[in-house]
Amino acid sequence: MSLLITIVSFVVVLGVLVFFHELGHYWVAKRHGIKVEEFGMGYPPRLIKLFTHDGTDFTINLIPFGGFARMKGEDGADMSSGSFNAASRWARASTLIAGPVMNALLAIVLFAASFMAGFPAAVAYPQITDVAPDSVATTLGLQPGDLLLQADDRPTLVSATPEFRYDIWVAEEPDAATTLTISRENEIINIPVADQRTVRTLLDSLSYRPVLDTQIVAVSPASPADREGLATGDVIYQVNGNLVTYDHPLSAVVQENLDEEIPVIVYRSGAWLTLNVTPRSNPPDGEGALGVQISSLTRLATLPILQSLWQGVVSTFQYVGLVLQLPVLLLMGQLSPAEAQISGPVGIAQMVGGAVSASIDTGLWFPIWRLSAVLSAALAITNLLPLPALDGGRLAFILIETLRGRRINPEREGLVHMVGFMLLLGLMVYITFQDLRTGTMAIDWHALLGQ
């Protein structure tokens, strides 16, 4: 069943990404008067012709990986009216660029869908920095420095990144009486609140800084943390009097106090605990100065549609930037090929199957939307690489044509693309062999989603 899910989900996801890619080519080509002879999903031999529209045969083909929009004279010397070669430089360039642009736009939509469907957000607890007169906080007797911990049995969590805020805590019974639990000077205090809407209003109107956002998820045996009693699940508040926050992470605070005994304040099971720990300047390989593995506190959150679309744009550009950095990092030795996780069809199929299985298990769409967005962005940037047979390679020939003032012989260009296609096919076979030999690094979607 797992293998069937992997195969079917891979074909469906890849089919959607390729469909929009080729749709971009098709739509722009038609706008420029270029004849598209066939729009095919999958690769030949042909299984069935669905229909013919405006001179284009729409087909389903036997090999279910990929697709194509075959334009008249695309790989030959045909310079007749309606052929790709006879079109202007702008018409050819815009037609080639349209495929990657469609994938970039699709990535934005898919990233946005992942933010709307419920995504794992880094969260923290709010510590009040200012109390306005006649505010809800003043009515409740809250003071600057108070740390909001719970409303009834639910943590009062907020975004851990001040520039990217989202409401995590949502009241389930807006008219029910509740109790607000705070910490003031390390003392736990319970404050009665008239109703949960007051708490919701309080969180929306407060001036605060996010704290308690770093959780210990593992402790190395015989490490300083282990010897002094730090434990999995502890949330770190202060180290040597310094708050551990998004802007001042644990690693930075610890590096300032190597080989010195320092107090570490953690929040554990509703209580504060202070432990004196000495960070090591020369820890064993794979261990940090304290000997702990940490992660951000996360909870599922959602964003409204406009904010989701903006984050979709931001995420797409961030991913494209990351991909463009990979060759530089590889050449400089800052990243190994194994760490780069370059995968072929087998590796991608395994990742897609894992995402779909996680969505089925958790009932959350985030894994499917997020991985599909990443793959769509990857397809956009990969196709723009200046390699023969790719859209970027064909664009490179148009650039050369522009610089030299005349065209390269279309037959010679077609030969270069054919050779390039064979080399890319060989590279794909090699990467696939590596995927089968070493396997791919699976994404732990359940842990990421906190399930």
pLDDT, tens only, 364-378: 899 999 999 999 999
How high does pLDDT run on average in the chain? 85
- Residue range 388-416: average pLDDT? 84
Looking at residue 21, what is its pLDDT?
96
d(CA 317, CA 107): 10
d(CA 410, CA 95): 17
**Higher pLDDT pick, 247 / 394:** 394
Q: Which of 131-135, 158-162, 272-276 has the highest mean pLDDT?
A: 272-276
pLDDT band at residue 20 using 50, 70 and 90 as cut-offs = very high
d(CA 156, CA 169): 6
- Residue range 386-399: average pLDDT? 88
Rg (CA), the chain: 28
Both tokens assigned to 80: 């007749």
- Which run of H or E residues covers position 207? strand 207-211
Q: What are phi and psi of 155, to 5 degrees?
A: -60, 140
Decide if pLDDT at 174 tops 60.
no
Looking at residue 334, what is its pLDDT?
61
Q: Percent of the chain scored above 70 by pLDDT?
A: 89
Both tokens assigned to 34: 């270029």
- Condensed to tens digits (0 to 9), the pLDDT of residues 94-153 reads 999 999 999 999 999 999 999 998 888 888 999 999 888 888 888 888 899 999 998 887
Q: Percent of the chain scored above 90 by pLDDT?
A: 36
Instruction: Tell me, letter by letter, the H, E, C secondary structure of 92-124.
Output: HHHHHHHHHHHHHHHHHHHHHHHHHHCEEEEEE
pLDDT band at residue 175 using 50, 70 and 90 as cut-offs = low
- Residue range 51-65: average pLDDT? 91
Looking at residue 379, what is its pLDDT?
92
Can you say how many angstroms the Cα of residue 301 is from the centroid of all Cα atoms in its chain? 15
Looking at residue 70, what is its pLDDT?
92
Q: Which of 33-47, 68-82, 157-171 has the highest mean pLDDT?
A: 33-47
Task: Cite the DSSP H helix spans in 242-304.
Answer: 250-255
Decide if pLDDT at 155 tops 90.
no
Decide if pLDDT at 278 tops 80.
yes
Decide if pLDDT at 177 tops 60.
no
**Higher pLDDT pick, 349 / 214:** 214
Looking at residue 327, what is its pLDDT?
67
Residue among 307, 417, 306, 301 nearest 364 (CA) = 301
pLDDT band at residue 90 using 50, 70 and 90 as cut-offs = very high
Instruction: Map residue 20 onto helix, strand or coil.
Output: helix
- Residue range 80-104: average pLDDT? 93
- Condensed to tens digits (0 to 9), the pLDDT of residues 253-262 reads 888 888 889 9
**Higher pLDDT pick, 100 / 417:** 100
- Domains (ranges, CATH) in the chain? 2-117+342-448 (no CATH), 120-211 (2.30.42), 214-280 (2.30.42.10)
Looking at residue 200, what is its pLDDT?
72
Looking at residue 197, what is its pLDDT?
67
pLDDT band at residue 337 using 50, 70 and 90 as cut-offs = low
State the amino acid at position 269 in one-letter form.
S
Query: 37, 75 in Cβ contact below 8 A?
Result: no
Looking at residue 128, what is its pLDDT?
92
- Condensed to tens digits (0 to 9), the pLDDT of residues 195-254 reads 666 777 787 778 888 899 899 999 999 999 999 999 999 999 999 888 888 878 888 888
- Condensed to tens digits (0 to 9), the pLDDT of residues 226-242 reads 999 999 999 999 998 88
pLDDT band at residue 4 using 50, 70 and 90 as cut-offs = confident
Query: Count of H helices and E strands in the chain?
Result: 13, 16
Decide if pLDDT at 329 tops 80.
no
pLDDT band at residue 313 using 50, 70 and 90 as cut-offs = very high
Looking at residue 171, what is its pLDDT?
43
Looking at residue 439, what is its pLDDT?
62
